[in-house]
Amino acid sequence: MTSPLSRSLLNELREYLRESFGLDFQEKMENDLIRYTMLAAKGFGYSDTSQFIQQLIKNKHYPTEPGKLASYYTIGETYFMREKKSLDFIEYYYLPPLIQKRFDKCRNLRIWSAGCASGEEVYSIAIMLSRTIPDIQNWDITLLGTDINTEFLKKAQQGIYSKWSFRNCTESFRDRYFERVNGNEYHIRPELKKMVRFSYHNLVGGSLPGVDDKKAGMDVIFCRNVMIYFSRETIRNVSERLFDSLVNGGILVVSPVEMSTLISPRFNKIFYSGYTFYQKEKKKQRTKKETVENEFQTVTPPPVIAPPGGSGQEENDPLPDIQPVTEKNPFLLAKAAADSGSLNDAIRYCDEALKLNKTDYRIYYLKATVLLELGREEEAMSTLNQLVYLEQDFVLAYFLLGNINMRSGKISEGHKHYKHALKILSKLKPEEELPGSEGLTIGRLAEIINGIGV
Ligand SMILES: C[S@@+](CC[C@H](N)C(=O)[O-])C[C@H]1O[C@@H](n2cnc3c(N)ncnc32)[C@H](O)[C@@H]1O
């Protein structure tokens, strides 16, 4: 007979998953947690889910098949050329001067996709390198894809994909870098496949490439859409460890939906086209005011090496432009202050910006998100209400209003806002980017809201 899952056992399981993998199953995700655990119990041959959990917790320090266990609790949503602006930044602005510098010396590069899922991200990087480095066969390239889900890793190693993985790419891109087999399978070309090495690696507690293996550190670490599943504390700790894994000058690339204020403050920030990149560099001591204003470090564009034959998304993609910086613009100062974690300064700059322009909804949105970070939920709600008065279709505001209400136990009010958000989203194209979201697509936000179970 199956014993019912007790609250205390579920809490122990939550703690176990947080400690072992960093995965943070908050209370609102309890139904998912139970569902995944029932499947995992079955997969490990248990008919009683409680017994399975007890066994897991008992063997905490000697887990059997952690990669198989993780496969029940992780989400591997990914596709080729995802968040292409961050790939553009690396391809057009970060790599060319580095390649030039290393050309006469060591001719090596080390790039790590941490949380690579089924491999689309790391193969996108292989493609990018193959067209950025003309004599790539003479280079010593380390391109590492790691994950805790061994099912995803098996798929990554095979390098075989369906059309769905190319939902952000043109057909000509797909046909250039993949071989079509059996009508609907796409095999990554062998010369690209052999550039990549995959292995199991747990970001929470696993040894660090470039630190523990005594090799040189990583030049670039992609860790996109991974830390969104972690608790605040884990994000801070993991980003500290990733910092240690980089060479001086190396870059950490995260997704724009990540909680940027929690990333280690040891990084310098680079702003580019609405995205924030994190660079490891020795910082000189600065005053607080300088810290905020100097956050506007932008990259100086080096001579661009044009990709032979297209970049992946659009055949004639215009080259990405560096956003102009106006240091006296209080809205930009507010953004920089928020990104650097100076939240009270960010509020002050938002208020200054609102004095100059009371109708710019972006200022209200930024102010609301910062107020939320500060735990000032009532004020955040009133700011969001001002925002939707001005901009009735600004979907992210309804999403945040939904979150705040749900958190404070006002479930039906929360659902009302989520439903309103879904209604607006249903009129838009899923693949398009959500205005004001810095990279989140319409479809992804709808998935997130539906995942909450409205
Ligand atoms: C949504 S996918 C992101 C894939 C890819 N980086 C992208 O942006 O398209 C998140 C991945 O993070 C992995 N992951 C979650 N926790 C992890 C941990 N503690 N260590 C390493 N990988 C982890 C999951 O298994 C999953 O494959």
Nearest CA to ligand 1 atom 7: 78
Across 271-280, average pLDDT:
86
Query: From CA 271, how far away is CA 340, in angstroms rounded?
Result: 12
Question: Could you tell me the residue ranges of all domains in the chain?
Answer: 7-67, 84-294, 330-452
pLDDT of residue 85: 86
> Under CATH, which architecture does the 84-294 domain have?
3-Layer(aba) Sandwich (3.40)
Judge whether 403 and 392 are in contact, CB under 8 Å: no
Q: Do domains 84-294 and 330-452 have the same CATH topology?
A: no
pLDDT, greater one: 191 or 58: 191
Sign for the pseudo-dihedral over CA of 45, 48, 51, 53: positive
What is the percent of the chain with per-residue pLDDT over 70, rounded to a whole number?
84
Question: Can you state the angle between helices 330-339 and 343-356, rounded to 10 degrees?
Answer: 160
Q: Say whether pLDDT at 303 is over 50.
A: no
For residue 146, pLDDT beyond 60 = yes
Give the per-residue pLDDT at 300. Answer: 40
Is there a contact between 255 and 247 (Cβ–Cβ < 8 Å)? no
pLDDT digit string, tens, across residues 197-211 = 999 999 998 777 766
CATH fold for the domain made of 330-452: 1.25.40
Pocket of ligand 1 (CB under 6 A): 21-23, 74-78, 82, 115-117, 121, 147-149, 152, 202-204, 224-226, 229
* Closest Cα to atom 2 of ligand 1: 76
Q: What is the mean pLDDT of residues 250-261?
A: 86
User: In a mutational test of the pocket of ligand 1, which residue from 118, 122, 226 has the highest number of ligand atoms less than 8 Å from its CB?
Assistant: 226
- Predicted confidence at residue 374, as pLDDT, reads 82
Bigger pLDDT: 266 or 438?
266
The predicted pLDDT at position 10 comes to 94
SS (H, E, C) 360-422: CHHHHHHHHHHHHHCCCHHHHHHHHHHHHHHCCCCHHHHHHHHHHHHHCCCHHHHHHHHHHHH
What are the structure tokens assigned to 421, written together?
A: 């958000």
* Cα(24)–Cα(53) distance, integer angstroms: 17
Matching residue, tokens 């390239």: 141
Strands across the sheet containing 178-181: 160-161, 185-188, 178-181
Once rounded to an integer, what is the mean pLDDT over residues 171-194? 94
Q: Which ligand 1 atom is the nearest neighbour of the CA of 204?
A: 19
Highest mean pLDDT among 18-22, 288-292, 443-447: 18-22
Predicted pLDDT of residue 267: 94
Average pLDDT over every residue of 189-203: 96
Residue type, 333: L
Per DSSP (E only), the strands in 211-272 are 218-222, 246-253, 268-272
Please determine, for residue 444, whether its predicted confidence score (pLDDT) is greater than 50: yes
pLDDT greater at residue 335 or residue 283: 335
pLDDT digits (tens, 9 = 90+) for 109-138: 999 999 999 999 999 999 999 988 888 999
Q: State yes or no: pLDDT of 316 exceeds 50.
A: no
pLDDT at 236: 93
Q: What pLDDT does residue 317 have?
A: 38
pLDDT of amino acid 436: 66
96 has pLDDT over 60:
yes
pTM value surpassing 0.75: no
Cβ atoms of 365 and 393 closer than 8 Å? no
